[in-house]
Chains A and B, each alone.
Chain A
């Protein structure tokens, strides 16, 4: 069975500082990996995805993520955080054998200090 762990429940970062959100997954084969962001009261917006190929993936809003098979990780990064990045971030894993079912991590809530 697939599982996703986001070790950090909350992260506080100063505006302009760098941000890294951790995601570890468990799956036997090559997974499809996603990062979504959710603002309060809203749905999920896709930031980026990894299916295959280049392990460094660029997304929207200046985010990037790196797939490391040896560490079963897919960490999300942003070089310089803006106040509007305050939100909850979810890592998710899917697989070809699972149709379009996604398994989500518990989320990391990001607070941005001025």
Chain B
């Protein structure tokens, strides 16, 4: 059974550009969450999608957005990139509601460097 797949694994962008990251959850999983990991702030929750609807949102500016498709694949987009957006972006998938339908699996992440 394939795990959580994130693409691209590494990318470099320039300030002011925008970026789209992709996540394919484990087959059958309906929930996809995104996290940002930086040395200074640690792991921070961005948002969660379940059955194409945003179910939860963290405290990030509106430049960070996401969506989920009918096949549960998810994308997140960051517009007007800033140097501080350089981070490892992790995607996590779950069958449904944690505690009721299993736990949460993470992908290898997408390393974003903003120059």
Contacts and interface: CB of A to CB of B under 8 A. Distances in A.
Interface of A: 32, 34, 36, 42-46, 49, 51-52, 90, 92, 94, 96, 98-107
Contact of A42 (B4, B42, B97, B108): B108
A43 B31 contact: no
Nearest to B93: A100
**For the side of the interface on B, what is the size category?**
20 to 34
Contact of B97 (A45, A100, A104): A100
A44 B31 CA distance: 17
B97 A99 contact: yes
Contacts of A94: 98-99, 104
Contacts of A51: 99
Contacts of A104: 35, 42-44
B109 A43 contact: yes
B42 A100 contact: no
B106 A100 contact: no
A42 B103 CA distance: 19
